[in-house]
Structure 1
Amino acid sequence: MRPTDRLFEVIQILRGARTPVIAARLAEQLEVSVRTIYRDIVALQSMRIPVAGEPGIGYVLQRGYDLPPINFDIEEAEAISVGLSMLARTGDAGLKRAAERAARKLNAATPLSEALLTSSWGAPDLDLLPEIRAAIREERTLQIVYAGDAGSLTRRKVLPIALIYYAEVAVLAAWCRLRKDFRHFRPDRMHECTPLDERFEGEGGSLRRAWEASRSTGPAANRLAGQRSNSTKTG
């Protein structure tokens, strides 16, 4: 890896980290020595890139730092173009519109082959998906009316924490106040979905970690397994 490419990778790793990253971890990921990482950190700081920290404690990239525009080679651009076009399959109208905007910008910068085609098949657009994504970002409680496996409707308040896109269906992971447990809901079964003023600010991260742990160790894991295109239990 060229030194300039490695500096870029160091920035990317620090940008995505939630806690300080020690030099040994950076060295392991980039397959270089710890001494090389120390030199890279000094080089970045000399270029006025806001990397803070010190040996033994770890390094962080200060918030608000933006990388310069990235140039893609033709194969990278084609891979991104195909990936963007496949977002139509999610049924998320908001993501589909964003993907179309991104694809136009990409094509303007790097004209792509007209032979790259993807199927337009996918789930029907669900206008509530952008609203659900916004509620997850804003840590805002949702009030939903949901149709269960037997078709019975229940009204409940949920704390939305993750939206999972499968090939056939999207699934919302949330803490359900009615069941007092994590539950998984198919947006296409929601008869109503209303964002409330009630927030759970600062709790989203811990809820996601607890949910992720429950997927492999708890009852919620059994509820989610095998439910990609089939019904999603709500208890």
Structure 2
Amino acid sequence: MRPTDRLFEIIQILRGGPGPHRAADLAESLEVSVRTIYRDIAALQAMRVPILGEAGIGYVLRRGYDLPPVNFDIEEAEAISVGLAMLARTGDAGLQSAAVRAARKLSEATPLTDALMTTSWGVPDQALLSDIRAAIRDEQALATLYEGMDGSLTRRTILPIALIYYAEVTVLAAWCRLRGDFRHFRPDRIHECRPAGESFAGEGAPLRRKWEAARQADPAAGRLAGQRSNSTKTG
């Protein structure tokens, strides 16, 4: 989370709950250190955000302070609410945490009923997804150890370009240096994943266009990749 986003989120949390919020609780919610929270509170107070309290006791936001509202009509709000709830199916802890924050902001902006429900059936365990999404955004190659359908392990340097969230599985689309072609990988079969120290800045969008063209030319390959295979092609 960017520092500016974190400052905004601290304001939202202080607005949303009764009583003081301890720095330790804020740090746990935002996945940062308590020291970072102290710095952020000091920065907000320096910007004249009326936060009251102190270290060891907790912080509150003075009544009457508000941010510009987010305006949705009721059907837009319901559509967003259902979409956020369905992120639980992805198994992506980073997206789920972001969805909780977004849902809190949405509930403050627009009155919603609790008549719309989703289930978390089929949630995979994919802790790597936050790192993979960051690599896609930053256009950074990844060095991986990947398990194929036959159980064999191969070391691959890949250029990640897209994540496809199917109902039953998540698939990573990437350019595979080992195969010299696009491949679809199952994140739950990635045993090791680290930055390869190589940027492909500026190539992400062109690679996605080529990948989309290849997928449209062979739609069955994309469907199979989402269901069971480790790539759009065998081997």
Given the two structures, how large is their TM-score scaled by the length of structure 2? 0.66
Q: Which residue of 1 aligns with 2:213?
A: 213
Q: Which residue of 1 aligns with 2:172?
A: 172
> Is 2:115 the partner of 1:111?
no
Q: Which residue of 2 aligns with 1:18?
A: none
Which secondary structure does the structure 2 equivalent of 1:226 belong to? Answer: helix
- CA drift at 1:89: 0.5
Which secondary structure does the structure 2 equivalent of 1:118 belong to? Answer: coil
Amino acid corresponding to residue 150 of structure 1 in structure 2 = D
Which secondary structure does the structure 2 equivalent of 1:227 belong to? Answer: helix
Q: Which residue of 2 aligns with 1:60?
A: none
Q: Which residue of 2 aligns with 1:231?
A: 229
- Distance 1:160-1:80 versus aligned 2 partners, 3 A rule: same
- CA drift at 1:108: 1.5
Contact 2:144 2:156 in 1 (8 A): yes
Contact 2:71 2:110 in 1 (8 A): no
Superposed, 1:30-109 pairs within 5 Å as 70-109=70-109
Unaligned residue ranges in structure 1 (runs of 5+): 1-67
Distance 1:124 1:174 in 2: 20
- Distance 1:114-1:224 versus aligned 2 partners, 3 A rule: closer
Contact 1:223 1:232 in 2 (8 A): no
User: RMSD value over aligned CA atoms?
Assistant: 1.8
Q: Which residue of 1 aligns with 2:122?
A: 122
The one-character-per-residue Cα deviations of 1:184-223 (angstroms, maximum 9, x if unpaired) are 10101111111222111111111111111111336xx554
Contact 1:224 1:232 in 2 (8 A): no
Query: Number of paired residues?
Result: 166
- Runs of 4 or more above 6 Å deviation: none
The one-character-per-residue Cα deviations of 1:51-108 (angstroms, maximum 9, x if unpaired) are xxxxxxxxxxxxxxxxx86411222211211111001111111111111110011111
- Distance 1:222-1:74 versus aligned 2 partners, 3 A rule: closer
Contact 1:93 1:125 in 2 (8 A): no
Contact 1:145 1:154 in 2 (8 A): yes
What is the identity percentage for the equivalent residue pairs of Structure 1 and Structure 2? 67
Given the two structures, how large is their TM-score scaled by the length of structure 1? 0.66
Q: Which residue of 2 aligns with 1:148?
A: 148
Which secondary structure does the structure 2 equivalent of 1:146 belong to? Answer: strand
- Distance 1:231-1:83 versus aligned 2 partners, 3 A rule: same
Q: Which residue of 1 aligns with 2:41?
A: none
